[in-house]
C-alpha cells in the first residue's frame, strides 16, 4: 500500500510540473519497473488531480472491509489455474466466489499471467522424425553416388495431404501462462505421400 501511495504522490508531482498523462505513466514505469501502477490507474489518478483532488489516500468506504486480493484469495485463484490453465476468468470467478474484476486483477497483476495461444509454425518434428530425415537423406546421397542418373527417376508431387487448421477454433486453445512465457508452438506440418516411398513429413 505504501508503494501505491508513493506512486500517487509521483503522479501528482508530474501533474504539477505540467507533464501529460502519457509522460507521467512512462516516468512511473521507468522509476518503479514491475511494481509500477498500471496505465489505467495512472490515468485515473492524473484525471482526479487535474479535476482538483489534493489527497492521495483512499477515501473512507462504508460497510464491511473488502476481502478480495488477500493472500488466501490469490492462492485460491492460483489453485484453480494450476488445475486447468484453460479456465476462463468467469469460470474462476464462479469457483472462487470472487468478482470477475477481482479475479482479473489477481491473474494479471498478482500472478502476472496472461492468455496465450499456440502459434502455428511450419516445422515441428520429433527426434525420431529428424533422425529419419537424416537417414533418408543419406540414402539418397549414396544412391546418387552410385548412379549419376538416379535423380532422373525421382517422382515428386504425386499426392498431397494437408492438415486443416481453422482459425475460429484458436480461441478455445488459449491458456493462461506467465506474462514472460512465449506462446507455445503447434505444428502445421504438411504431409506428402508418394506412392513409391514411405510417408514423410515436410
For residue 114, the SS3 value is strand
Angle at 142 between CA 139 and CA 145, to 5 degrees: 155
Grade residue 5 by pLDDT with cuts at 50, 70 and 90.
confident
Supply the pTM of this predicted model.
0.34
Kind of pairing between the strands at 190-193 and 185-187: unpaired
Domains and CATH numbers, the chain: 2-50 (1.10.10.1450), 71-111 (1.10.10), 120-201 (no CATH)
Contact 76, 70 (CB under 8 A): no
109-124 pLDDT, tens digit per residue, is 888 887 766 665 556 6
Average the pLDDT over each of 79-83, 100-104, 147-151, 180-184 and give the range with the smallest value: 180-184
Q: Which of 60, 41, 59, 49 is nearest to 19 (CA)?
A: 49
Cα separation, 12 vs 51, whole angstroms: 12
Amino acid at each position: 500500500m505504501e508503494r501505491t501511495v508513493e506512486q500517487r504522490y509521483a503522479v501528482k508531482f508530474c501533474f504539477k510540473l505540467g507533464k501529460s498523462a502519457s509522460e507521467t505513466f512512462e516516468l512511473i514505469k521507468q522509476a518503479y519497473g514491475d511494481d509500477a501502477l498500471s496505465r489505467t490507474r495512472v490515468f485515473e489518478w492524473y484525471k482526479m488531480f487535474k479535476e482538483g483532488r489534493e489527497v492521495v489516500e483512499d477515501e473512507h468506504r462504508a460497510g464491511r472491509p473488502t476481502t478480495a486480493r488477500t493472500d488466501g484469495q490469490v492462492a485460491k485463484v492460483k489453485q484453480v489455474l494450476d488445475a486447468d490453465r484453460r479456465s476462463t476468468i468467469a469460470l474462476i470467478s464462479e469457483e472462487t466466489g470472487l468478482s470477475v474484476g477481482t479475479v482479473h486483477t489477481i491473474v494479471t497483476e498478482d500472478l502476472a499471467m496472461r492468455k496465450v495461444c499456440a502459434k502455428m509454425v511450419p516445422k515441428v518434428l520429433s527426434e525420431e522424425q529428424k533422425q529419419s530425415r537424416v537417414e533418408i537423406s543419406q540414402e539418397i546421397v549414396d544412391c546418387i553416388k552410385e548412379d549419376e542418373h538416379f535423380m532422373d527417376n525421382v517422382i515428386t508431387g504425386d499426392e498431397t495431404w494437408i492438415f486443416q487448421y481453422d482459425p475460429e477454433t484458436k480461441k478455445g486453445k488459449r491458456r493462461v501462462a506467465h506474462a514472460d512465457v512465449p506462446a507455445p508452438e503447434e505444428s502445421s506440418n504438411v504431409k506428402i505421400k508418394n506412392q513409391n516411398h514411405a510417408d514423410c513429413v515436410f
